[in-house]
Amino acid sequence: MIDEIKSLTTVLNRFIDLLQVAICKRCWTKSRNIQAAFAHHDGHMAEQLSAATHWDPQPWFDELDHGLIHGLMTACLVTHYAELNPQAVGHIAFRESDGHVERLLSSCILHDVGRFSHGNHNHAAKLREVYPNLLPVTYVHDNPGSKHETHPLVLADRSELLRFSDWQEWVDLENLPPLVPQIDRFRSFAYKLAQAGPWARHGFEEPQQLADEFPGQFERMGERGTFSIEVDESPFGPCISNHGQKFNNFYGLIPVDQIGAYYCDTLRRDHLAGQKPAPVSQWAFVYAEPLENNPFRDQVVDAYRRGLAIAPERVATAWWRLTGKVRSTISVLIPPP
């Protein structure tokens, strides 16, 4: 199981690095503490993300089925599938050349925008009116035919559709490459992070078995049997992040409205408290790396085995910030009405 978790983390880190380099090399060098004398890029990503006509991106940002998170997850999977089949799209690497990597990532991120700019009917073809410079397969991904059915973008999009109950109407598993081990855990995590805040955090202080509800009875406090929380507008805001290694080893995130909150005076110290635990399936769990040295390693592995939403803290925070960067870049590159 730990080998599968490491394999997933490698795929996620590779995608995050590629997209960071493509959209803002300064962010990438800063995140890696690299003292780069030259932190510019060639602008390929910005060119691809520049809209030709006005459209309102907010519904696309907010919608989960075919919105921004779906586009980002498709881009994440496509980098893995392209690595398995480099002949399909060319070598995927950090080094910028003719912009084909940026074009591939942009095409994946934007491939369903046509649903929001023009409606569902013929949405792939109509996307060309808004973003005319994407890969040709983008405009036929809904009905790719034999020419494009094995293109990594189409395969990644179909893999993303496995989260729907009617996936068999769209996906032939025989045509898909081997799925990334444990990818469903991060996919669930990414979609949970797209929920509206404010957010609550609760972390384990001592290792204990995950129950069906989180937190379990051991973690609750006060006469009402509730539990301490920290709250912030963002799941990785300053009041939620950086609570010291002991409290960063393993913790859960959830929108406050799913657990409620109130002021709890425990006589020894005051706390914001959650009103009621929630099923573990509603939480997004975060853990510190390296996993082998984490005192909550058994709880982390158990969460993966149970199919819960979970991610390493570095990957989770980088994904969150990168999502915001993509949102802001796309927004400013839409012309006014």
Task: Please provide the DSSP assignment of 51-109 as one string.
Answer: -SS----HHHHH-SSSSHHHHHHHHHHHHHHHHH-HHHH----SS-SSSHHHHHHHHHH
147 and 220 share one domain? no
221 and 268 share one domain? yes
Instruction: Tell me the pLDDT tens digit for each residue of 289-311.
Output: 999 999 999 999 999 999 999 99
Structural domain contains residue 17: yes
Dist CA 147 CA 125 (whole Å):
16
Average pLDDT, the chain: 85
33 and 119 share one domain? yes
Instruction: Tell me the pLDDT tens digit for each residue of 146-205.
Output: 888 888 899 999 999 888 888 888 788 777 887 788 899 999 999 999 999 899 999 887
21 and 140 share one domain? yes
Q: Which tokens go with 83?
A: 């690595």
Q: Is the pLDDT of residue 221 over 70?
A: no
Say what the pLDDT of residue 300 is: 95
Dist CA 177 CA 152 (whole Å):
9
Count of the separate structural domains present in the chain? 2
Structural domain contains residue 328: no
62 and 165 share one domain? yes
Q: Is the pLDDT of residue 314 over 60?
A: yes
Give the residue among 98, 109, 255, 111 at the shortest CA–CA distance from 192: 255
Give the residue among 277, 46, 311, 96 at the shortest CA–CA distance from 188: 311
Q: Rounded mean pLDDT of 109-127?
A: 93
Cβ-contact 306, 257 below 8 angstroms: no
168 and 197 share one domain? no
Say what the pLDDT of residue 272 is: 84
61 and 174 share one domain? yes
284-287 and 261-265 as β-strands: parallel, antiparallel, unpaired?
unpaired
Secondary structure (3-state) at 135 = coil
102 and 223 share one domain? no
Beta partners for residue 141, in sequence order: none
Cβ-contact 315, 291 below 8 angstroms: no
Structural domain contains residue 333: no
Structural domain contains residue 318: no
202 and 172 share one domain? no
128 and 209 share one domain? no
Structural domain contains residue 327: no
E strand residue ranges, the chain: 199-203, 213-214, 227-232, 250-255, 261-265, 270-274, 278-279, 284-287, 309-312
Q: Which domain holds residue 199?
A: 190-312
Say what the pLDDT of residue 224 is: 60
151 and 290 share one domain? no
111 and 177 share one domain? yes
Phi, psi (rounded to 5 degrees) for 205: -95, -35
Structural domain contains residue 274: yes
Cβ-contact 184, 307 below 8 angstroms: yes
Q: What is the 3-state secondary structure (H, E, C) of 178-214?
A: CCCCCHHHHHHHHHHHCCCCCEEEEECCCCCCCCCEE
Structural domain contains residue 74: yes
pTM, rounded to two decimals: 0.90
- Which residues fall within 8 angstroms of residue 65, CB to CB, at 6 or more apart? 164
Sign of CA dihedral 83, 87, 89, 92: positive
Q: Rounded mean pLDDT of 36-62?
A: 83
Say what the pLDDT of residue 112 is: 97
Q: Rounded mean pLDDT of 104-125?
A: 93
